[in-house]
Amino acid sequence: MATPIKVVVAGALGRVGREMMYGLSADPDVDLVGGADPVAAEDYFDLPGGGGLVPLARSVEALFSRVRPRVMVDFTTAEAALANARAAIRAGVSPVIGTTGLSPANIEEIGRLAHEAQLGAVIAPNFAIGANLMMYFARIASRYLSAAEIIELHHAGKADAPSGTAYSTAKMMREARGEPFDRQETKKLTLDDVRGGDVDGIRIHSVRLPGLVAHQEVIFGGQGQTLIIRHDSYGRDSFVPGVLLAVKEVVNRSELVYGLDKIMGLGDG
């Protein structure tokens, strides 16, 4: 059996970071050697169910010299993720970044640093395998059906609307179709904004309610038929399998890969 990959988690005490600590520690191909979080008050992270103690530090730099990982999984903030990625690549550690909000210039810089160091790196705005499949299937359907709307549904605490996934799904669908979708015009609106936001002829509707996690439906309409592609995330553990896929693949790469779909081999659809 191959030696397990030594991995650390940046943002280990955050909402997603904690799920990563639990999920990565349960995989026999991974050796979870540490976590970093500025609010760490203890020196160790106590895994549930007697899973053991994992070293904790307040910064990734402190962790790199202490536990010498091969991969860093990052679910922090955009500012922290950029600084962490720079430090990781400098230390010969491959970053796997789920943190959102990195600018195109940030992504370009991480790509350049990875290329110069001949080191694999992954940035993926959505690590849910099912969500990536939903986007892939929507891209394929876009070639055949010319009318579509998206309903995305999220927990009430979500800061932004529409979700980044809904917006990029619409953009990918437009690209796959090669032309704007047929706009479904309504003659009379008796309530402002009731038809949602428009991206190249695709209406996006954002639902925010307590009890929801992250859900999206892409609805296509055609003559006498509809096609609905739906994905539901019921918890933050839904990101674990995609991150594990990226961790196991990044060690075989020597440059930046953007998007989990590339790791899944989904191509351009």
Chain positions contacting ligand NAP, by CB under 6 A: 10-11, 13-17, 36-39, 60, 75-77, 80, 84, 98-101, 124-127, 239
Report in angstroms how near the CB of residue 164 gets to ligand NAP at its nearest: 8
Report in angstroms how near the CB of residue 171 gets to ligand NAP at its nearest: 17
Catalytic residue among 154, 205, 215, 231: 154
How far lies 203's CA from each of 3, 29, 33, 208, 217, in Å?
Answer: 49, 43, 45, 17, 12
Going by their DSSP bridges, the two strands 71-74 and 147-154 should be labelled as unpaired
Active site residue 154: yes
Report in angstroms how near the CB of residue 176 gets to ligand NAP at its nearest: 22
CA-to-CA distance for 16 and 243, rounded, in angstroms? Answer: 11
With CB atoms as reference, the residue minimizing the distance to ligand NAP is 14
Using the minimum distance from each CB to ligand NAP, give the nearer residue, 70 or 203.
70
How far lies 22's CA from each of 25, 41, 48, 52, 244, in Å?
Answer: 5, 19, 8, 11, 12
Report in angstroms how near the CB of residue 106 gets to ligand NAP at its nearest: 12
- Looking at residue 183, the DSSP 8-state letter turns out to be P
Using the minimum distance from each CB to ligand NAP, give the nearer residue, 25 or 165.
165
Angle value at C-alpha 36, between 99 and 97, nearest 5 degrees: 20
Task: Judge whether 156 and 210 are in contact, CB under 8 Å.
Answer: yes
Using the minimum distance from each CB to ligand NAP, give the nearer residue, 177 or 231.
231
Burial class (CB in 10 A: 0-12, 13-18, 19+), 52: exposed
Using the minimum distance from each CB to ligand NAP, give the nearer residue, 99 or 142.
99
CA-to-CA distance for 236 and 129, rounded, in angstroms? Answer: 12
Catalytic residue among 115, 158, 248, 262: 158
Active site residue 187: no
Using the minimum distance from each CB to ligand NAP, give the nearer residue, 13 or 145.
13
Report in angstroms how near the CB of residue 34 gets to ligand NAP at its nearest: 11
Residues with active-site annotation: 154, 158
